Amino acid sequence: MIIVIAIAGLLMAGGAVGAIVRIIRGPSALDRIIASDVLVATAIIAIGAEMAVNRHTDNLPVMLGLALFGIVGSVSVARFISSRDDT
């Protein structure tokens, strides 16, 4: 079980590092925004994995808040990009 947890942690850390690198080096604003969405999704996954390993649901409101943040952020960016393309 410890090996599975370690592998999952390494994969999540790799995804987070990749997203942070894309946020820093991204050539466009859209790349940075998508990378920040990936970073939020990785945080949600990490919190969910921690809850599964420790068998509790104490952090469920945090996960829901992050999911709401991700949805609202994606929709607002899509609307911004859409209005910018119309002109």
Report yes or no: 2 and 25 within 8 Å, Cβ to Cβ: no
- Confidence class for position 86, pLDDT limits 50, 70, 90: low
Structural domain boundaries enclosing 32: 2-86
pTM score of the predicted model? 0.87
What's the total number of domains in the chain? 1
Averaged pLDDT, 27-41: 91
For 26, the 3-state DSSP assignment is coil
- Confidence class for position 16, pLDDT limits 50, 70, 90: very high
